[in-house]
Amino acid sequence: GAGVSQSPSNKVTEKGKDVELRCDPISGHTALYWYRQSLGQGLEFLIYFQGNSAPDKSGLPSDRFSAERTGGSVSTLTIQRTQQEDSAVYLCASSSQGTAYNSPLHFGNGTRLTVT
C-alpha cells in the first residue's frame, strides 16, 4: 500500500518568500507529526496532530511557522518570510494510534528546503 507522501521533495526559495509543504499520511492514520532535521543533526519536533486538532505545537520555532490538517488526512506546513536558518529537511510521519499503544511512526521521504 501507499506510504506517507510528501511534496515537493526539494524546494529552493529566496529569503523572504513563503513556502508550503504538503504531507499525505497513510490512509486511516489518525496521528500526524512534523519534524525538521538540519544537516548532521537530530530530529527536531515541530507539531503533531490527532485527527484535525494539534494538541502540541510547542516545537514550532516562531510565529512564521504554522500547520493545519483537514479531513483528518492531508497536512500542510507553511513557513512565511523564510530565513536561511529555515533550511533543513522537513519530515512528516503518521501513526495509526496514539503512542500509548506503541504504534510506530511511518515517515515520508521528506522535503529538502533550501533558502538562498
Partner 1 sequence: RKEVEQDPGPFNVPEGATVAFNCTYSNSASQSFFWYRQDCRKEPKLLMSVYSSGNEDGRFTAQLNRASQYISLLIRDSKLSDSATYLCVVNGGGTSYGKLTFGQGTILTVHP
Q: Quick check: 65 binds partner 1 (CB under 8 A)?
A: no
**Among candidates 71, 65, 59, which has minimal Cα distance to 33?**
59
| Cα distance between residue 10 and residue 32, in whole Å | 21
Name the minimum Å distance from CB 18 to partner 1.
Answer: 25
Q: How many CA atoms lie within 13 A of 109 on its CB side?
A: 8
Give me the residue label for grid cell 538540519. Answer: 38
Q: Quick check: 91 binds partner 1 (CB under 8 A)?
A: yes
Which of 8, 16, 28, 104 is the binder for partner 1 (CB under 8 A)? 104
Which residues contact partner 1 (rule: CB under 8 A)?
31, 33, 35, 41-43, 45, 48, 50, 55-56, 58, 91, 98-100, 102, 104-105, 107-110
